[in-house]
Amino acid sequence: MEQKPARVRIIDAAHQLMLTIGLARATTKEIARAAGCSEAALYKHFASKEELFVVVLKERLPRLNPLLKRLVASPGAGERTVEQNLTEIARQAALFYEQSFPIAASLYAEPRLKERHNEAMRELGTGPHMPISGLDAYLRSEQAAGRVRADADTYAAASLLLGACAQRAFAYEATADGSPPQPLDEFAAALARTLMRGVAA
């Protein structure tokens, strides 16, 4: 069986280690070892651990930002309703946060690493604010198309939807069975339906 390219092996190894031991404890040396290559080879593909983390988020987790960009470009494509689009956004966002929180949580225990990480995010033009900006832009495009109320606060609506999805990712770990009260699809549909009551034209 042909071995995967080094870049793919490095991303796979980083994803696995970040999930199991956290971003703070996953060193580039350990990632390289798990990928079956040298640390120097890792640095040929990635400038830093922070850049590698961003790539893991982009390439191994549910694709939230591309979905938002597609919807901003053509909000009414395929005659889907705003509520259907918001349901899909909520579904992808809930999955994204569910899978990214275990990786990123260790950042908050290491202030210096978190600052380095934030610096890298700024340099790469990304960060946790991007989905809110993307959803706000989508809702404004629907506003322009007359499908969202002209006086609706699109930024607040975007923050409410994505905040609920992020909250779902960690809010139920301490409960008896550790699972949210609604299955994912039911949660996403209910969230979109409820938000639409406040913003629909």
CATH assignment at residue 130: 1.10.357
90 and 14 in a common domain: no
Decide which of 10, 25, 60 is a domain's last residue: 60
119 and 27 in a common domain: no
Say how many residues make up the chain: 201
75 and 20 in a common domain: no
CATH assignment at residue 25: 1.10.10.60
- Report d(CA 177, CA 22) in Å as an integer: 23
Query: What range does the domain containing 135 cover?
Result: 62-199
- Report d(CA 169, CA 192) in Å as an integer: 17
What is the structure's pLDDT at 146?
92
Strand, coil or helix: 29: helix
Q: What is the mean pLDDT of the chain?
A: 84
95 and 182 in a common domain: yes
What is the structure's pLDDT at 45?
94
165 and 69 in a common domain: yes
Answer yes or no: are the C-beta atoms of 12 and 4 closer than 8 Å.
yes
Return the higher-pLDDT residue of 144 and 173: 144
101 and 144 in a common domain: yes
- Average pLDDT of span 126-151: 88
89 and 16 in a common domain: no
What is the structure's pLDDT at 34?
94
- Average pLDDT of span 88-94: 91
- Report d(CA 179, CA 157) in Å as an integer: 26
What is the structure's pLDDT at 65?
72
137 and 188 in a common domain: yes
161 and 174 in a common domain: yes
What stretches of the chain show up as alpha helix (H) in DSSP?
6-21, 28-35, 39-45, 49-60, 64-73, 82-104, 111-124, 130-144, 154-170, 184-199
118 and 73 in a common domain: yes
- pTM for the full model? 0.73
Answer yes or no: are the C-beta atoms of 135 and 96 closer than 8 Å.
no
111 and 26 in a common domain: no
157 and 88 in a common domain: yes
Residue 145 sits at φ, ψ, to 5 deg, of -85, -5
What is the structure's pLDDT at 137?
92
Q: What is the pLDDT of residues 45-73, one digit of tens each?
A: 998 887 888 788 778 766 777 777 888 77
| Count of structural domains, the chain | 2
Return the higher-pLDDT residue of 49 and 110: 49
Residue 200 sits at φ, ψ, to 5 deg, of -60, 140
Return the higher-pLDDT residue of 175 and 38: 38
What stretches of 127-179 show up as alpha helix (H) in DSSP?
130-144, 154-170
